[in-house]
A and B are shown apart, each in its own frame.
Chain A
Amino acid sequence: MSVAGINVLVEETRARQAAAAPLLAVEGVSAYYGSVAALRDVDIAVGEGEIVTLIGANGAGKSTLMMTIFGAPQARTGRIRFAGQDITRLPTHAIARLGIAQSPEGRRVFPRMSVQENLQMGASLHGGRHFAEDLERVCTLFPRLKERLQQRAGTMSGGEQQMLAIARALMSRPRLLLLDEPSLGLAPLVVKQIFGAIRDLNREAGMTIFLVEQNAYHALKLAHRGYVLVNGRVTLSGSGRALLDDPAVKAAYLEGGIVEASTIAEAKA
């Protein structure tokens, strides 16, 4: 069997595992802002050890899904399960305590705290146990942070703040890491660095990652599987490679993205 064939096999096995006992299962979820539907009947599964990506245009509902997983806003219909437990109606902080961490859209570092304090906030679930060890770990991943531990987070560059946001999420030793647009507004070189770190996290530390991105090319290349979100609906899903080769995805997200995103929905319908 060819190498490509084996790869396909591996990916299929992964997909089947994810379907059997996914770490995170979003099932038929709809969410609203007031009376405006932001997510409609969304089904997504993330299996242990996978990188799964969700791509879509601005305003498709990607960040809403990230926040809905954390119960803010809560899903109006459907169910969200994490490690078999129904978390749909739990308050945000209780969901975080189960072992999901997020580096949110816009990074949201605490601007008037030092880098170290931000990391301590990330570790607050563990009350300071193994802080030194975890600090060492994230500083190896992002050496830039080590030089800046005492600097106020609000005075750092966008790329550094992004590294801090990811590092802060890692400090809680999560079982699942949600990353919302980690490449947004960053220079290509920094993007490369950050995607490299995400890959290392998954390949070396076995971290399960759910990645939301507008930068579809990078995200699909990195991910085992991907979903495409259009106007709050999942219109396409498949292995990262399959989506990269999909003509509709190519047209909408990879080659300039000039084509209206809804054409994907039409193409598949």
Chain B
Amino acid sequence: MDVFVQQLINGLTLGAIYGLIAIGYTMVFGIIGMVNFAHGDVFMVSTFIALIGFLILTTWLGIASVPLALIVVLLVTMPLTALWGWAIERVAYRPLRGSFRLAPLISAIGVSIFLSNFVQVAQGARNKPTPPMLNGGFTLFERDGYAVTLSYKQCLIMAVTVILLAGFWYLVQRTAFGRAQRACEQDRRMAALLGIDVDRTISLTFVLGAALAAVAGVLYLLYYGVVSFSDGFVPGVKAFTAAVLGGIGSLPGAVLGGLIIGLIETFWSAYFSIEYKDVAAFSILAIVLIFMPSGILGRAEVEKV
């Protein structure tokens, strides 16, 4: 029971990070029907931007307050990563719109390789550590010498995720931009007939996806304390898996999928074997997709016309 609660907490934390990344996959797929394979690497780039930001703030400027540093780093990393997302769409995907379906996909794989190699060359191939921040936590209960703890980091990750998701849900469901975005998802040409600048809406979708990935990046750096140029691939694929599992195109689905993948991974590591955690996560994906091809919250492609 103690181990179970502890793993539940750990799994939800990890799942929250996957969920934040997965939203970027699912939104882009929703609006232009393309899997943005570079999204994981955009996430990785954001962890490096955050790392550099932390180092500048703490060592050069001598800011000792961790919460202050964290807020500043978030505020810097989000727009910078969003700029990357915008530029990638503009340079690598938009010129291929209207080309055959595989073209932007191949371009995305190219961007992914470009980003990880660029960071490898510019920042070096070694793992980059940060000094541990926000240590400590609450001890929830203790039995037989096993303490179930909820660390400050985990609290922060979950709180930030919940707040962001609420804000994001509001943006998509209640604002004019969100409506325009959903309209472009459902019928791009009709949206243009109503005066919506479709290219701009697609750009903003990439910008938002990248900004959420940046939040995930900052939290990831904080949680693990170490990043490397190759960290885009595995979390990226896991988040993509989460998006597919939850039903690609569905925002709540992306978050739900992220939580499920995070939980499977941590529980499998705790009870069975840590080496096989990815095998477990992807096997469950395969099984779910065999029985529910459109994912858990995805909609079946039937529509009255």
Contacts and interface: CB of A to CB of B under 8 A. Distances in A.
B94 to A, nearest CB: 14
Interface in A86-121: 91-93, 96-97, 101-102, 104, 106, 108, 110-113, 117, 120-121
B2 interface: no
Most buried by B among A93, A104, A120, A155: A93
A236 interface: no
A168 B186 contact: no
B53 to A, nearest CB: 36
B179 A111 contact: no
Contacts of B194: 96, 101, 121-122, 124-125, 168, 172
A72 B192 contact: yes
B195 interface: yes
A106 B195 CA distance: 19
B304 interface: yes
Contact of B183 (A70, A72, A110, A154): A110
A128 interface: yes
Interface string A114-145: 00010011101101100000000000000000
Interface string A151-174: 000110000000000001000100
A110 B182 contact: yes
Contacts of A127: 176
Interface string B183-212: 100110111111111100000000000000
A111 B186 contact: yes
Interface residues of A, number: 28
A124 B179 contact: yes
Nearest to B192: A92
A105 to B, nearest CB: 11
Nearest to B186: A110
B195 A155 contact: no
Contacts of B182: 110, 112-113
Nearest to B189: A72
Contacts of B198: 93
A102 B176 contact: no
B195 A108 contact: no
Contacts of A93: 192, 195-198
B80 interface: no
A120 B187 CA distance: 15
A185 to B, nearest CB: 10
Most buried by A among B183, B186, B192, B195: B195
B199 to A, nearest CB: 8
B192 A108 contact: no
Given A110-B186, A112-B182, A124 B176 contact: yes
Contacts of B195: 93, 96-97, 124-125, 172
Given A110-B183, A111-B186, A92 B193 contact: yes
Contacts of A72: 189, 192
B179 A102 contact: no
B280 interface: no
Given A108-B190, A121-B180, 4 more contacts: A92-B193, A110-B186, A124-B180, A172-B194
20 contacts: A70-B193, A72-B189, A92-B193, A93-B192, A93-B195, A96-B195, A106-B305, A108-B190, A110-B186, A110-B190, A112-B182, A113-B179, A113-B186, A122-B194, A124-B179, A124-B195, A124-B196, A125-B195, A127-B176, A128-B176
Task: Give the top 5 A-B pairs by smallest Cβ distance, nearest first.
Answer: A96-B195, A92-B192, A108-B190, A110-B186, A125-B195
Interface of A: 70, 72, 91-93, 96-97, 101-102, 104, 106, 108, 110-113, 117, 120-122, 124-125, 127-128, 154-155, 168, 172
